[in-house]
Structure 1
Amino acid sequence: MTVLAGRDDLTPAGADAEAVAGERHVAAEPLAVAGKRYAAFISYSRSARGAFAPAIQRGLQQLARPWHRRRALEVFRDTTGLAVTAELWPSIRSNLDRSAWFVLLASPESARSRWVGKEIGRWIEVKGPQTIMIVVTDGGCVWDEAAGDFDRAASTAVHPALHGAFGVEPRYLDMRWAHEDVHLTLRNASFRGAIAELAAPMHGLAKDELEGEDVRAQRRRVQVITGSVLAMAVLLVLSVVAGLIAVQQRDLAEVRRQDALSRQLAARSENLDDTDPVLSRLLAVAGWRIMQTPDAHAGLLNALANPSVGGFPGHSGKLNGAAFSPDGRSLATTGEDGTVRLWDPVTRRQLGQPLTGHSGPAQDVAFSPDGRSLATTGEDGTVRLWDPVTRRQLGQPLTGHSGAIYGVAFSPDGRTLASAGVDGSVRLWDPATRRGLGRPLGNPGPVYDVAFSPDGRTLATGGNDKVVRLWDAVTRRRLGRPLSGHTETVLRVAFSPDGKTLASAGDDGTVRLWDPVTHRQLGKALTGHTDNVIWEVRFSPDGRSLASVGGDGTVRLWDPATHRQLGEALTGHTDQARAMAFSPDGGTLASAGNDGMIRLWNPAVHRRLGRPLTGHTGPIRALTFSPDGRTLATAGDDKTVRLWDPVTREETAAPLTGHTDAVLGVAFSPDGRVLAGAGGDRTVLLWDAATGRRIGAPLTGHSGPVYDVAFGSGGRVLASAGADGTVRLWDVRTRRPLGQPLTGHTDTIWTVTFSPDGRTLATGGLDTTIRFWDAATGRRLGAPLTGHPGPVYDLAFSPDGRTLAGAGVDGTVRLWDVRTRRPLGQPLTGHTGTVLRVAFSRDGRLLASTGVDGTIRFWDPEAYRQIGRPMTGSGGSSLGVAFSPDGRTLATAGEDGAARLWGTATAADPVALLCATAGRTLTDAEWSLHLKDEPRRPVCP
C-alpha cells in the first residue's frame, strides 16, 4: 500500500501569494501513476513541523517491512513526488479520492491553512469523517461533551472544517511530546508506538498484531541477511567469517557468564548475611563490579541494610566482657582463657600480645575515662590495672575480695574504681595508689555488677538478692529502699547518659527501667529474649536506645521511651551472648559470647531516631515533610494538623485547627508556603505554613469525606479526592474549582498524586482500579490499571516519573510502567495484611511500605526485592510513611497517635560504604572459592 503526502503548501496557479506565505513548495516528479490507489493521504502544514512528516513517512515505510521489499508502505512526499504543474488541485483532489485514509497532522498552523481546509472538506464530502485520523502535533484538541463538538476556544489545533463533522468524540493521537524528542525513529519506543497506531488500520491489523508482524519481519530480514552474509563469507573468506562468528559467540557467552556470575554472587552475599557479614559485603561489591545488573544492585542495598558489620574469633574459649576505649580506637575483651585482649575495631586485628596475669577466667573490663588505664576482674578474686599502650600490668593486683569478682566500673572523674564480688561486698579503690577507700559496701548476697551515675554521686549495684541498690558514692550510705521487681538474680545495671534512668537485667529474662530519684519502675518490663538469662544491658551514648544480650544468643535494641523493641533481633552468635559495648560515637555495637566470636553491628541501620513525636490524641492518618525537610506535618483523628522539627522532635507551632472531623490527608505546596488538609468533614482547608493561619474559607464541593490532597502545576493547582468517587481540581490562589469534577471511579477514592512533571494525575480507590488523568484538561488517559484484587489505598510516582507504586488490601505492593501502563515484575509480597502507604526515596533507589501488620519494609524497585529486615515498633498499624527530602530519614504515622523517625540505609556510594565497613578485600582463598574463573582484580582498596 502507498501513503500519499498531500500538502497544503502547494500553490496552484494564480493563488494569492499572501494567503500561502511561508508555504512554498518545489516539486520534482510526476504526481502519480493513473489509477493507482493509496493507503492514506497525509495533510499538514509544512510551516508547522518541517521534519515531522518525513519522520512519519520513514516510520510507515519501515514498520513491518517484509524482507523482500524496500518499503512496507510506499509513501509519497512532496519533494520527491509532485511535478510543477498549473493544475495541482485537481491532481491532489484525484489522489484524495483514491486514498483509503485521511491523516491530518493537526496544529495551530494547519488549523489556519486554507489548503488543509479544502482537503478536509473534499474528504468529508466524498468519504465522510469515519476514516479521518487526527494526529495532534501542537496546540490544543479538547472535546466539549455537552456540545458534542470540539471546544472552539480551547481546540487551537482543530481546523474549522472539522467543527460539526463528528457526532461523538473521535479518537486522536497525541504526539505533542515529539517537540521534546529529536530522535523520531522506530528505535524510539514512543514514536514506534505512534507509528503502529497509524499503520495498523492501513495493514488491516490490530496494533499488537502489527507490532508482532514487525518483529517477525525483522527476524526474517535478519535471518535472510545473516544467511546471505554467511553464504558469501563461506565462498569468499571462510576463515575470516568463522573468526568473526567465533568472536561474537565468545563475547555473547562472556556476557552471559558474567551476568550469571554477578547474580550468583548477589545470592551468595544474601545467604552469608548473618553468618559472615564481611564476606557478604565483599561478594555484593564483587557482583556489582562484574556486571551492574538489577540483582547486583539489590545485593548492594541488602548488604548495606544488614546491621552486622562483621565478626571475628577472639579468645580460645568463651568471652565474658567487652569495653571500647574512650577514643573508640580499641576494643578490650576478657575471656575464660584468663586473658585480656585488645583489638582494632576497624581492621579487626589483635593489638599486640594478650594481657596475662589472672589465674582463672577474666570477667569484667572497663577503661578509665582518660583511656590511660584498663581495669579487669577475675574469678581469682583480683582486680588488675593495665596500661593499654604498653600492655603491661600497673603495680600489684588489688586484693580484698574473698571470691570471684564479676563487676568493675570507674567513676566519671576516674578517681575511684568500684568492684563487685560474690562475697557480697562492693569495694572502692583509688586507681592511682591502688589502695582501698574505706570500708566495703555490704550486701546480703553475691553482687554481680556495679555502675556509677554520670555525675559520680550515685552507685548502683545488682546481685543475688533480686534487687537493685543505690548508694551515695561519697558517704557510702544506702539511698532509699531497694528497687524490687526482678524475680531472679540481677546480673547487670547501667545508667543512661543523662542519669535520669537506670536499667537492670538478670536471670528472669527481663530488662527493667527505673527512676533513680523516686526508686520507681518506669513502665513495663522489656521482654523478648527467649532465654531467661540476660547477661548485659547498655545505653547508647546518645541515650536514645538500649541494648541487651542474652542466653538466646541475640542482641536486641529497645526504645527506652516507649519500652518497645526496635526492629528484629540481631542474630549471628551460635551460643549465648554474654558481653556488649557501644563505641563512644554510637556507630558500632560490639557483642561477644560463648561461641568465642566478637561481632560488630551498625545500630544506626533502620534505627529509630529518638523518642516518638507525641501530641495527637488519636491515630495519625497522614504525614509529609516540607520540601526543605525542616518541618514534618502530621494529621489525625483529633482534627488537627501538627508541625514538628524533625531534629529536636518538638512541635514548632500551635496545632492547625479548623476541621470539624478527622484530618485524613495533608500536603505541602512545592515552595513549602502552603499546607493543605483533607478532612472527614467533606472540606479541604489551606494554611499558611509559616504563620499557621487559615487561608480563606474551606474548599467545599465533595459530598463525602475527603481522603487525600496533592499539589500540582508548581503549587498553582490542588487536587482532592474523596468518598464521593470524584476528584476535584482547585485554583490555589482563588480557591475556586477548576472545571467539573473528574469522574470515572465507581466508589471511594483513597489516594491522589501528581507525577513529578505535574502533567499526570493518578488516583486509586475502593473500586480496585488506578486511573490516570491529564492534569491540564482533566481528560482520562487510557484504560484503568487493574491488578490489585481489592481496594488501592495509596499510590506513589518514582522521582523520574517512570514507575508507579500501588498499595493494596491484598497485602502486596505492585509496580507499573507509567508509559506502557503494564505491570513491572511480580507483586512485592511480605506484609501479612493490607498495605496502607508507599513512598519512594528521593533518589528512587528505595521504596518503603507500611501496613496493618505494623511493619515498615524497604524494597529495591528495580530488582523487585525486599531489602533488609522489616522494621517494627510503629505502635500498631502504620498509617503513613514519608521520606525526608535528603532520603536519610523515614517518618511513619502510628495508630497509637505517635509519629516516629527512622534512619535509612541509603548511601550515595554504597560500594565505598560497604568496602569501608568490610575493612578489607577478598583473600586469595575466598577469590579461589567464589571467583575461581575470574582474573584477580581489586574488589575493595
Structure 2
Amino acid sequence: MPSTNTTTRYVYDAFLSYSHGADAKMAPAVHRALSRLAKPWNRPRALRIFRDQASLEAGADLWATIEAKLSASRHLVLLASPQAARSPWVGREIAHWKQHREPATFLIVLTDGEMHWDHSARDFDRTRTTALPPEVFGWFEAEPLWVDLTWARSETTLSLGHARFRQNIGTLAAALHGVSKDELDSEEARQHARSVGVRRGLTWGLAFFLVVSLVFGVMAQMRGDEAERRRKEADGQRRVAAVRALLAESRSRLADDPRTAVRLGLTAYGLLPTTETRAALVDVLRRTPYAGASHGPDETGPFVRRLSDDAGVLATAGKGTLKLWDISQPGRRRLLHRLTSPRGTVEDIAFSRDGRTLFVATTKGHALWDIATPDRPRPLPGLPGATGLDGGGFGDGDRTLATVRDGKGSSGRMDLWDVADPDRPRRLGSVTGVYDATEVQMSPDGKTVVSATGKVILNEADTGKTTIEHGSGMTAWDTSDPARPRRLGRNDAWGGALAFSPDGRTLISSHSRTAYVWRIRPSRAPRLLSRLRGHRGAVTAAAFGSDGKAAITLDEQGSAVRWDLARPDKPRSRGKLLATERRGGQDVAFTPDGRHIREVDSRDAVASWRMDSEPGPWQRAQAAADPVAVAAVAIRPDGRTAATAGTRGLVLWDITDHDKPRRLAVLHGFSGNMTDVAFSADGRYLAGGDGASRVILWDTSNRRHPRKTATLRTRGPVASLAFSPRAPLLVTSGNHPRFTGRIDGWATLWNLKGGRPVETRSYTLKSYTDASVASFSPDGRLLALPGAGSGLFDMGDPNRPRHLKWDSVAVIQQDTAFSTKRKLLAVGERVYRVNGTSLHKPAVELPDAPDRGGRVAFHPDGNLLATADDEGTAVLWDIGDLRYPHVAAELPALDDSVDDVAFTPDGRTLLTGGGDGTLRLWDLGPLPAAAHDPKRLACQVAGGGLDHTQWLRHAPGLAYRDLCR
C-alpha cells in the first residue's frame, strides 16, 4: 500500500523521470526553470530537483541508488513521451512510486506523443495514448494534473524568459510548492523586490541614480522590443495555429479524401517548413494509397474507354474520335496518336494481352491496328465478312480473337478468328442463336469464352402485365475446338465486369453491387466459388494482378475494392480505394509489377493507386539464416544476391524474388563467429571476417558453388571489411586486446591485384579505443575510419594512403557509411557534408538518435538513412533536407537486436539481420519517393495545391500562395 506518513523529511522536492533519448535537452531546461522560479534571495534554489545526469553519484548498484533517491523525493515528475513509454527504467521508477506513494504526488509533463483522458472509464484512453508507460494506466480515479510542453520541442532556447514556457513551468511549480499559481506569482514578485532592495542598499548614492537612469532607459527599450516581439509572436502564433489545424485536418481526411489530405499537408509545409511539417507531409504521402490522377478533355456522352493489360496505354473513343494516350506515369498523360475511327458508333475496344494489337468494334464495322509502337500505329486488314460487331476479346496467346454481334431476340452471333498472322486473319468457327452477345472475353489459353449481355427483353401480354421474356446474363463456351464452339452453361444476371485470371482458371463477373468468383474447368460449366461484396454502386469492371492472387473490382461511383484471391473460395478484402470525385468507373488494370492499379472513369480521368498492403516499410519475407544470430548483411551490386554472416558461417541468398528468398550456398571454414561480410564492387568476390582473426575470400562467379581463393590472417578479431569501389583494395579493421586490459584498434590495407592478397599498409589506432567500421566514398578517393586518433585517408594513390586531418570523433564502435548519390558521410548519429577530401563542420546530428546501436546505411538516392538498433528495431531517417532531419519510419520492434541494415540497389527493399538469426526483407513502399522531394511528389499526386476558395476555408487570414508553381 502507498505510504501515508506525512512526517517524512524529504531531501528532494521532485524526482525527474524521463527518456534520455527523447528529452536529453528538455529535462535540463525543466530542471533549471523549477530551481529558479520564485527563488528566495537568500537560498541557492527554489526547489531541489533530482535529475540523474545532474544529481546521481557513482555507485556499485545503480537501481539501489535510484530507489533511495525516489524515497527521498516528495513528488515524481514524468516527462512523458513515446520513448519514455517504452523505457524499462521509467517503467520501473513509476512502479516503485505506485507501491509507496499516492497518485496525488505524481505529476506529468507531456513532451511528445499524445495523452487522452477517458472520463467515462475514469482512466487514460489506452488506444489513443502513446506517451504513457503501462504502469500509469488504471492508477488514477480522476484526471491528474499534466502540463503540455509538446510545442517546446521545436524551440531552440527554453528559459524563464520565454513567456509560454514560464507559464507552463509556473503551473508545475505551483503543484510542487503546494500553493496556488497566484500565490506563487506573488511570492516570486516579493522575493524579487527584496533582492532589488538589498542591492540598492549596498550601492553608493551616485551609482544608485546612475543605475536608476540606466534601468529606466533599458526598460523603455525593452518595452519597445517587447511590443515588437509580441507582434511578431502573434503573427507567428496565427501561422502556427493555422498549420496545426491543417495538419489535423490532413490526417482526418486521409481515408476518405486522399487528394485533399495531401494538399492540406503540402500547405502546412509550405507555410511553415519545419521538421514537424515535413515529417507530417512525408507521412501522408507514405500512408495514402492514392498516387495521382490525370485528366482528359472531360467529355461526357457515349464514350468507350479501355486500359491496356499493363495499364500503360489508354484508348478512348466517341463522337468520331479514337485516341491513344500514354498513362505510364501516375498523374500524367501524353497523347500518342489520333486514329481514324471506323464508321458507326464505337461499342467496344479490346487490347491484346501483349499490348501489340488493338481491336475496335462499331455498329457499322470494326478495325484492327498494330500498336507495337503506340505513337505510330499501323492499320491491319479487317476480319473478312464481319460487320456491325459489339465486342471482342483476345486469347490463346493473342493468336485468337473472339467477337460477338448482338441481334434481335436470340439471333446474336459469336465468331472465333485466327489472328496469329494479323495481316491475314481468318475465321475459325462460329455459333449463331446467341442471346448473350454484347460483351465477350476469352481465357488466356483460348479454351474458354464467356459472352454476356446486360439487355432485358420485356413481354407485354394481352392481360396488361409486363413480364421478362429474356434477362441479362452470361454464357460460357468450350472453345478448345474453335471450329465447333460448345455451350457449357448460362448464368442469369450480368452487370458489366468480366475478367479472367492469368492462368485462365478463375473468372470474375458482376451483377449489381456484387462480384462473383468462378472456377473455370476444361469442358465443364463454371462453378461459383464466392461472392465479393463491399461496393455501394454497381460493379462495372474487374482485373487480376500478374500473380493471379490479387484482384480489383471497380464500381459505377469510381470506388475500387482490393481483394486477396489466393484462396478464391475464401476471398479477403484488402481495403477500399475511395474515389476523390464520384464518377462512373469504366475500366481498371494492374501495372506489370502489381504495385499500382489504374482506373479510368466516365470523364476520362485516370487515377493511380498503390496496391501496397501497408504504408511501408512492411515485411515482405523472412528466412532463417543462422541458429543464433546474423551479425552482418551484404548485397551484391546486381541486387540479385545477398550474404549473411552468422555464428556458423556465411550464407548466400537469391533475392531476385523479394517475396521468396532462396538459400544458394553455405560457406564454412571460419574458426570463430562471423563478424562482417562484404562484396567487391564488381560483385565477383565475397569477403567474410570472424572473431578468430581470419578473413576468407570467395569467388562467387558461380553463386551455387563459390570457390575459396584466399585466407588472410589479421592482427586481431575482425570488426569490419570494406572493398574499394575503384581499386583492387580491401580494408580490414578490428580490435587487438592487450594483457593490460586495454584494447587497441587496428586497420590493414590489402592489395588484391593478381588474385593473391598482399598487405600493403597497416595502422594502429590510439589506445583505449575500439575500431570503428570502415567505409569508402563512392569514387574510392576517401576512406573513413573514425574514432580517437583515426579519421579520413586520401586514397588517391592506393599504394600511398595519406592521413587527412580530421578532428577525432569520440565514439566507440561507430559505423560509417558514404552516400552514393549525395556527398554525405554518416558516422553513427552524425551526418557530415563531404567537400573534396574534407568534411563540413559542424555535423548534422539526428534528433533523439540513440548513442548506441548497430550499422548504418544510406538509401541509393541518399535521402534516407537506416540505422540498426540493439534494442530490436531499425529506424529510417528522412535526411532529404538536412535542416529538418526526422524519423520517417520505424520498423516493428523485434525481441532481439537488429545488428545490420542494407538497401537493395533499386532502393525498394531493406534487408535486416540481427540477434534472432533471421534475415528479413522490408518493402519500403512510397517512402523513398516521399523523402526524396515531398513537395514535388505532393504536387504531382494532388495535381496542385489548394485553390483560392479552399485556401480561404483552410488558411484564413494568411496570404494565398500557389505552392506548386
Q: Point out the structure with max Rg over C-alpha.
A: 1
TM-score range, shorter chain: 0.3 to 0.5
What TM-score does the superposition give when structure 1 sets the normalisation length?
0.45
What TM-score does the superposition give when structure 2 sets the normalisation length?
0.44
